[in-house]
Amino acid sequence: MPGKTQPQSEMLKGTLDMMILRTLVSGDAHGHTIAKVIEHTSENLLEVEQGSLYPALHRLEDRKWVSSYWGASENNRKAKFYRLTAEGRKQLARETSRWRQMTRAIGLVMGEEGGAQ
Amino acid sequence: MSWLRFLRRKRKDAELQAEIETYLSEEIAGNLARGMSEEEARRRARVKLGNSQQVRESLWVQNSPMPLTNLGRDLKYAFRTLRRTPGFSVIAVAVMTLCMGAAISLFTIVRSVLLRPLPFKDPGRLVVVYEHRRGNAPANSYTQVAPADFYDWRAKTHGFEDMAIIRYAGYNLTGERNELPESVRAAAGSWNLFQLLGVTPAFGRAFSEPEDRPGSTAVMLSWSVFQRRFAGDPAIVGHQIHLDGRPFTVIGVLPSWFAYPDAGIQLWRPYQADATPEFLQHHDFHQSQVIARLRPSVSLASALEEVGAVQYQLHLQYPHDPVAEDVTSGSLNEDLAGNVKKPLNLMMSAVGCMLLIGCLNVSNLLVARGAARQKEVAIRSALGARRATLIREQLAESVLICGAGCVGGISLSVLSTRLLAQAWKDLPTAQDIYIDGPVIAFASILMITAALVAGLLPALSTTGKAMMNALHASARTGAGSVSRTVLRKILLTAEIGITVVLLVSAGLLLKSFLRLRSEDVGCITQNMLTLQYNLPGKKYDTPEKQNAFNEALLERVRNMPGVRGAALGNTVPGAGYWGDFVFTVQEHPPRKAGEERPEGLMRWADPGYFNALGIPLVSGRFFTNDERGTRAYKVIVNRQLVRKYFGEEDPIGKHLNVPAYPHAGTPGIADYEIVGVVGDTLYQVGKDPKAALYFPMLAGTSSQTLAVHTASAPLSFSVPVQRQIASLDPELPVSRVRTMDEVIGASLVNASLSARLVLAFAILSLLLAAVGLYGVLSYLAAQRTTELGIRMALGAQRDQLLRLMLGDGMRPALLGLGLGLAVSVVATRLFQSMLFGTKPLDPVVLSCVVGTLFAVAILACLIPAWRASRLDPMQALRTD
């Protein structure tokens, strides 16, 4: 992915996939919803750009971590919905634990009490 | 999964567009809900979305495997470049097509003949077993098997699942309803042969064990005779046909694909059916082939060892019979290929050389093109193109050229393989010759190799650091391309070197063939008509009846107008080996242990045979009309036999004991008395004369070759002579009506074919080398136009310039010539055994090659050199 398309509020490399998977835990969603949910839950700190969202979704689909089907959106438009697969759930668990370790380690280095939870 | 992704990327792109649409409308809906105006909502959504084209592109890239995309682009680019110079492209593709076509054709034959397993059940475990005499000089020499040895092997060894034995035979096939008589080639096989090969008859059944005994009347038909003579009617199974006038029962028909050991076999008989008890019990009838199927758990070596042990016991048991000490084995393919293998390998090498020359030529042309693109390449690498990318791009051109050449070559070889296979008489016919998967795979590998050989060198030379010089080198210095010129000269030297090797090889083969042609067979060969017939045993069951027919025929033919003489014997000189007899000289002391047993070719001759064929009498006399039937205990020997076994001794009046041919003569006279010595004849052109024994034909023989010496064109006598035969016996078929020149020519066909083919390859290579030489020198002259102009302006004479340019071209030619000659010294030793009466370093051939190459090189150089020397100095100075 060329560096120019990185979003303003820069996301850590590899975390978008994890966040997409996490979003899908609460139910199937199409691209727009996924982006919105991530933005809302991050209190609008993170902004998901289409330039990374759609390639990421297709990548996850290729790796069989999500499956997709066509359905109708809230506004009754034809939309491609993504669903977390069993394999994707396992991947999410792996990535979450790795993420936890990583943030704790970084927290320790940066001198926060007990590291980030 | 990247392939799947690659193939689905169009659909994925469409999906993505739909998704983006959804996103946009969702965003607009959201914005509207927040109370924005329609226009504002739309604008904001678009801003948020950013460049949707970029999203699509990035997904497209994500779905395209990089190397593949690059390859596609390189090929497209190379194609465009090649299309821009159609002249070059056509020449390069034509060169590659010719070379690849020849290589693929030959490989097709090699594969069909030597590599493709025969179409039998589990062919990997089938081997041919031969007897092997340890004393024989070459380690891999082998002898055909005597049936008595075979039966012992089969009974006493366990390493092979089963062993079968076959031998050739011949019959006259006659119909029940007056159909034309026909002489057919047949084979006899032990009852288990078809089972061992895994062949199921198309109709009926194969031989059973009880049928494999003397006197059996079972016969199996080949598919071709079944179709041809019996109209493909399966009802023939169980019915009778007539062979040599006797009835036989058809028990089965072989499938159409079955053509073992060759396609000429029309009938199969049980092995023992026509065998005499002596033939089956004695250990000196080496006429059969043994096919064995290895047990899955046993190694070939141990199975052979076991058979070898049995054979050694036999050797010790029969010290006076020619029983070999050991056995050896070979693959079915090689057994059939026989003496084709060596010429095939030679031609494969010749074709390989030609292909290499073709590659070098294309390479040379590409280097020249590289010069034209020098600036472009330099600029691109200055702008950051990686060297690997540039090399890959240039390789794409040679891949395209070789790819087109490969496709052309395959189409060419579809045609040429058939022609070649037809022209090659010795080629085994058990396998069809056709292009199959492995041949295509071979062609592809060849193509890639050729593309690398042809493309890598030019690509390397036009890229790299040195190329940056091109940017600051002004065209006027004319020095920027020295290294490339050197490279082209090196390529050219290699090309000429290989051409010389090919020319020398071709010259040697050609000379050897001419020597063969002009060899003296030892008898009259001009105006000589030969034909064969075989008196059927039922009608001609006594020597008297046989003699009556033979003598009547001789009488009639000799009285025909225009006939100078007629000879009747079992064969004529130059027609092949025809078997031999071992013998002992009664007057000589018994043979010491380990001493070679005397042997001589077996021949039968009528009293007028030697006169009619012009074979000189050395001493003694010819046969007389009185030496017939039981009084035929005389023998005539040839000079070679006397030289070998009598030395200075006078052979006349000595007696020969021939165990395999005991004469049924007067009681008390057991041996043949030598009555005459005749001059040597060659049994096959190109082979040394062998000792020969001539027995009186009037002893009564059924299988005859008639030779008629005519006053004029011999073939015009073929119908009148056959009419004479028909008037004596209308049911007797005649076969192989040929002139003596044809008989001898038949054994030369293959020598002539290899000589002609290698010569064709050599000439083509010479042509390629000449084109290369011409190209390099033209290029050089163009490069040096300015320099030449300056030289002229300074007063250089035209002939000086001519000499200068000629020298430039001739140097690589001479260097290549020297190198090629040096390599030839080694290379020609490899096929020395194929040469006849020609030394590998034949001075005539070598000087011809040197002369030809020199002349062609001068010719190729003269044109560009002359053109360079005719330059208008003013024009030359002004160019570029």
Which residues, in sequence order, are CB contacts of B544 under 8 Å at separation 6+?
B629, B700
B423 in Cβ contact with B347 (< 8 Å): no
B479 in Cβ contact with B728 (< 8 Å): no
Distances in Å between the Cα of B719 and the Cα atoms of B179, B542, B713 are 20, 29, 12
Distance CA A61, CA A84 (A): 10
Report which of B626, B624, B609 is spatially closest to residue B679, judged by C-alpha positions: B609
Report which of B694, B668, B667, B542 is spatially closest to residue B608, judged by C-alpha positions: B694
CB contact A77 to B (< 8 Å): yes
Q: What is the pLDDT of residue B479?
A: 47
Residue B445: alpha-carbon gap to chain centroid: 21
Amino acid at site B430: A
Q: What is the pLDDT of residue A11?
A: 61
% of chain B with per-residue pLDDT over 90: 21
Q: What is the pLDDT of residue B49?
A: 78
Q: What is the pLDDT of residue B139?
A: 55
**Element of type H or E holding B31:** helix B9-33
pLDDT in tens, B274-288: 888 878 887 777 788
Q: What is the pLDDT of residue B255?
A: 92
Q: Which residue has tokens 């943030």?
A: A103
Most distant CA pair in chain B: distance in Å?
A: 138
CB pairs under 8 A between A and B: 66
On chain A, the residues whose CB falls within 8 A of the CB of B21 are: 77
pLDDT greater than 90 at residue B766: no
pLDDT greater than 60 at residue B584: yes
Helix (H, G, I), strand (E, B) or coil at B560: coil
B interface with A, Cβ–Cβ < 8 A, is 1, 5, 12, 15-16, 18-23, 25-27, 29-30, 49-52, 54-55, 58-59, 62-63
More confident call, B171 vs B481:
B171
Distance CA B502, CA B55 (A): 61
A88 in Cβ contact with A24 (< 8 Å): yes
Lowest mean pLDDT among A13-17, B679-683, B811-815: A13-17
Report which of B710, B735, B739 is spatially closest to residue B725, judged by C-alpha positions: B735
Q: Distance, in angstroms, between A108 CA and closest chain B CA? A: 37
- Residue of B13, B24, B58, B61 to mutate, testing the A interface (most A Cβ within 10 Å of its Cβ): B58
Report which of A30, A27, A36 is spatially closest to residue A76, judged by C-alpha positions: A30
β-pair partners for B174: B242
pLDDT in tens, B683-695: 888 888 889 999 9
Q: What is the pLDDT of residue B578?
A: 79
Distance CA B555, CA B336 (A): 42
- Residue of B5, B17, B19, B24 to mutate, testing the A interface (most A Cβ within 10 Å of its Cβ): B19
pLDDT greater than 60 at residue B439: yes
Distance CA B221, CA B46 (A): 86
Per the structure block, which two tokens stand in for B722?
């056959």
Q: Distance, in angstroms, between B463 CA and closest chain A CA? A: 29
Q: What is the pLDDT of residue B530?
A: 93
CB contact A58 to B (< 8 Å): yes
Give chain B's mean pLDDT: 84
Lowest mean pLDDT among A112-116, B346-350, B655-659, B863-867: A112-116
Q: What is the pLDDT of residue B158?
A: 87
Lowest mean pLDDT among A52-66, B369-383, B398-412, B835-849: B369-383
Number of Cβ within a 10 Å radius of residue A113: 7
CB contact A51 to B (< 8 Å): yes
pLDDT greater than 90 at residue B220: yes
On chain A, the residues whose CB falls within 8 A of the CB of B44 are: none
Lowest mean pLDDT among A39-53, B27-41, B426-440, B817-831: B426-440
Write the DSSP assignment of B369-437 as a string of letters: HHHHTHHHHHHHHHTT--HHHHHHHHHHHHHHHHHHHHHHHHHHHHHHHHHHHHH-TTS--SS-----H
Per the structure block, which two tokens stand in for B786?
């300015």
- Residue of A38, A50, A59, A64 to mutate, testing the B interface (most B Cβ within 10 Å of its Cβ): A50
Number of Cβ within a 10 Å radius of residue B324: 26
Report which of B460, B488, B448, B489 is spatially closest to residue B365, judged by C-alpha positions: B488
Report which of B450, B400, B384, B470 is spatially closest to residue B84, judged by C-alpha positions: B400
Q: What is the pLDDT of residue A8?
A: 45
Q: What is the pLDDT of residue A7?
A: 43
Which residues, in sequence order, are CB contacts of B657 under 8 Å at separation 6+?
B583, B584, B585, B586, B670, B671, B672
Q: What is the pLDDT of residue B619?
A: 93
Q: What is the pLDDT of residue B432?
A: 77
Burial of A23 (0-12, 13-18, 19+ CB in 10 A): buried
Distance CA B6, CA A115 (A): 44
Q: Which residue has tokens 């006076």?
A: B320
Q: Are B49 and A50 an interchain contact pair (Cβ–Cβ within 8 Å)?
A: yes
Query: Which residue stretches of A30-113 are H helix?
Result: 31-41, 50-62, 86-109
Distances in Å between the Cα of B372 and the Cα atoms of A35, B470, B484 are 55, 11, 12
Strand-pair category, B182-189 with B672-678? unpaired
Per the structure block, which two tokens stand in for B861?
């150089």
Q: Are B16 and A54 an interchain contact pair (Cβ–Cβ within 8 Å)?
A: yes
pLDDT in tens, B137-187: 455 567 788 888 899 999 998 889 999 999 887 777 766 555 667 778 889
The CA R_g of chain B, rounded to the nearest whole Å, is 38
Per the structure block, which two tokens stand in for B88?
């070059």
pLDDT greater than 90 at residue B78: no
B645 in Cβ contact with B599 (< 8 Å): no
Query: Could you give phi then psi for residue B274, rounded to 5 degrees?
Result: -105, 15
Per-residue model confidence as pLDDT tens for chain A (117 residues)? 343 444 444 566 678 889 999 999 988 888 888 988 988 888 888 888 777 888 888 888 888 899 989 888 777 778 889 999 999 999 999 999 999 998 899 899 988 655 444
User: 3.40.50.150, 3.40.50.300, 1.10.10.10, 3.40.1010.20: which CATH number matches A3-84?
Assistant: 1.10.10.10
Q: What residue segments make up the domains of chain A, in order of their start?
A: 3-84
pLDDT greater than 60 at residue B9: yes
Q: What is the pLDDT of residue B205?
A: 93
Q: What is the pLDDT of residue B478?
A: 47
Q: What is the pLDDT of residue A4?
A: 40
Number of Cβ within a 10 Å radius of residue B455: 26
Number of Cβ within a 10 Å radius of residue B826: 10
CB contact A89 to B (< 8 Å): no
Helix (H, G, I), strand (E, B) or coil at A49: coil
% of chain B with per-residue pLDDT over 70: 93
DSSP structure class, residue B288:
B
Q: What is the pLDDT of residue B72?
A: 84
- How large is the average pLDDT for residues B632-645? 91
B410 in Cβ contact with B440 (< 8 Å): yes
Distance CA B319, CA B323 (A): 8
Q: What is the pLDDT of residue B577?
A: 80
DSSP structure class, residue B661:
S
Instruction: Please write down the long-range contacts of B822-826, taking CB distance under 8 Å and 24 or more positions apart.
Output: B823/B497, B823/B500, B823/B501, B824/B500, B824/B501, B824/B504, B824/B505
Q: What is the pLDDT of residue B328?
A: 85
- The CA-to-CA distance between both ends of chain B, in Å, stands at 55
Amino acid at site B790: I
Which residues, in sequence order, are CB contacts of B92 under 8 Å at separation 6+?
B362, B365, B401, B405
Residue B730 preceded by cis peptide, ω within 30: no
Distances in Å between the Cα of B5 and the Cα atoms of A57, B70, B591 are 14, 17, 84
B101 in Cβ contact with B404 (< 8 Å): no
What's the complex ipTM? Answer: 0.76
Amino acid at site B548: A
pLDDT greater than 80 at residue B108: yes
Q: What is the pLDDT of residue B669?
A: 62
